[in-house]
């Protein structure tokens, strides 16, 4: 469907974001014979990576191939896939929501599910953005096995760099932590030393890539340390403006609060995947989408039954006459 089409019929559910979380929800909802649309801006978080790792039965698949398969499956059961961006979701006067797409179309929906993911804020150093997802990495569970037994670095910008360095020992015995902008405490130094993580002090000037794979780390004082991969701690920022616009409550870290099925604090609004949980991997994002779809469908059945009961009660006296 082209995003300029005018859509007026009420959807049971409109899903904002068609990554693993949103598409998984759409598949389950479409199979439950719900009228569902998925609006997707086409920028999944893991797009820079060559493969998805750790997804049972899909290990090594290209991220785009997984989404292509998911889109075909959801569309096969009747889900409408719309390329576009949701600009705003507002409560509708008669109940439900109005989902406004960039460029004009408005989709009315009984429920909305937000699965817009998160944005990774990366250290502003030459080489980081160019090699992100290839040899500049953040998640050992996604990439550790592929760089096992190789010389690894950790570019420290936050205290969690220490835990990241210790974790990486599971994959390589050659781990160097570059303190860069992090001041290590005595205790942190002791823990790293006890596990034989090498500590290199001083600010890092750039990652040495020379328009090719990462070769090492260059410090501001000119020293260079050869490394095959460097791990960073991205600042994970939820793409949650649709949720905040609806008034969904957040926790003290700023993440939207949901129950185990993805239900937010605003009735009819659901949030799944990385937009609500920075820890979620592809397989867990897909699982959250499935759980939310089941929760949403049950809620719709409840609503339809309550309406039917009300109609029956109001019709009953007339029938008896």
Ligand X SMILES: Cc1cc2nc3c(=O)[nH]c(=O)nc-3n(C[C@H](O)[C@H](O)[C@H](O)COP(=O)(O)OP(=O)(O)OC[C@H]3O[C@@H](n4cnc5c(N)ncnc54)[C@H](O)[C@@H]3O)c2cc1C
Report the interface residues with ligand X, using CB under 6 A.
16-22, 39-46, 48-49, 52-55, 85-86, 115-117, 120, 133, 139, 142, 239, 273-274, 280-283, 285
Whole-Å CA distances, 18 to 59, 69, 117, 168: 20, 12, 9, 32
Please say which residue, 56 or 93, places its beta carbon nearer to ligand X.
Answer: 56
* Contact (CB, 8 A) for 115 and 97: no
Helices (H), 159-281: 160-168, 186-194, 241-245
Helices (H), 138-281: 140-143, 160-168, 186-194, 241-245
* Contact (CB, 8 A) for 148 and 141: no
Please say which residue, 251 or 321, places its beta carbon nearer to ligand X.
Answer: 251
Please say which residue, 104 or 202, places its beta carbon nearer to ligand X.
Answer: 104
| Helices 282-320, 20-31: crossing angle, 10 deg rounding | 30
SS3 content of the chain, % helix, strand, coil (to 5): 30, 25, 45
Least distance in angstroms from the C-beta of 119 to ligand X: 9
Please say which residue, 88 or 303, places its beta carbon nearer to ligand X.
Answer: 88
Please say which residue, 131 or 205, places its beta carbon nearer to ligand X.
Answer: 131
Least distance in angstroms from the C-beta of 233 to ligand X: 12
Query: Residue 11 burial by CB count (10 A; 0-12/13-18/19+): exposed, middle or buried?
Result: buried
Measured distance CA(31)–CA(166) in Å, rounded: 44
Least distance in angstroms from the C-beta of 87 to ligand X: 7
Least distance in angstroms from the C-beta of 4 to ligand X: 16
Whole-Å CA distances, 9 to 2, 37, 81, 101, 110: 16, 11, 15, 15, 11
Least distance in angstroms from the C-beta of 235 to ligand X: 12
Least distance in angstroms from the C-beta of 321 to ligand X: 53
Please say which residue, 138 or 198, places its beta carbon nearer to ligand X.
Answer: 138
Least distance in angstroms from the C-beta of 92 to ligand X: 19
Please say which residue, 45 or 227, places its beta carbon nearer to ligand X.
Answer: 45
Least distance in angstroms from the C-beta of 24 to ligand X: 8
* Contact (CB, 8 A) for 224 and 217: yes
Give the bridge partners for 86, in sequence order. Answer: 101
Please say which residue, 12 or 120, places its beta carbon nearer to ligand X.
Answer: 120
Which residue's structure tokens are 């129950």?
Answer: 259
Report residue 287 as tokens.
Answer: 């699982």
């Amino acid at each position: 469907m082209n995003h300029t089409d005018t859509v007026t019929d009420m959807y049971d559910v409109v899903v904002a974001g068609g990554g693993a979380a949103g598409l998984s929800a759409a598949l389950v909802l479409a199979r439950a014979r719900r009228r569902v649309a998925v609006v997707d801006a086409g920028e999944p978080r893991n797009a820079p990576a060559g493969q998805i790792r750790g997804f049972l039965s899909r290990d090594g698949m290209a991220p785009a191939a997984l989404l292509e398969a998911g889109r075909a499956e959801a569309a096969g059961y009747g889900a409408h896939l719309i390329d576009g961006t949701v600009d705003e979701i507002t409560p509708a006067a008669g109940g439900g929501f109005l989902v406004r797409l960039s460029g004009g179309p408005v989709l009315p929906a009984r429920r909305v599910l937000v699965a817009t993911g998160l944005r990774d804020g990366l250290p502003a150093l030459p080489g980081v953005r160019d090699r992100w997802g290839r040899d500049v990495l953040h998640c050992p569970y996604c990439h550790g096995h592929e760089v096992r037994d190789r010389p690894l670095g950790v570019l420290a910008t936050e205290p969690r760099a220490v835990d990241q360095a210790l974790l990486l020992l599971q994959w390589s015995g050659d781990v160097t932590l570059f303190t860069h902008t992090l001041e290590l405490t005595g205790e942190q130094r002791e823990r790293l030393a006890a596990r034989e993580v090498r500590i290199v002090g001083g600010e890092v000037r750039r990652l040495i890539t020379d328009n090719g794979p990462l070769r090492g780390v260059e410090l501001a004082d000119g020293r260079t340390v050869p490394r095959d991969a460097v791990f960073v701690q991205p600042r994970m920022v939820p793409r949650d403006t649709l949720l905040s616009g609806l008034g969904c409550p957040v926790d003290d870290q700023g993440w939207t609060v949901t129950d185990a099925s993805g239900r937010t604090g605003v009735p009819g609004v659901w949030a799944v995947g990385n937009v609500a949980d920075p820890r979620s991997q592809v397989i867990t994002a897909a699982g959250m989408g499935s759980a939310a779809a089941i929760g949403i469908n049950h809620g719709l059945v409840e609503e339809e039954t309550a309406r039917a009961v009300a109609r029956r009660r109001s019709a009953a006296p007339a029938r008896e006459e």
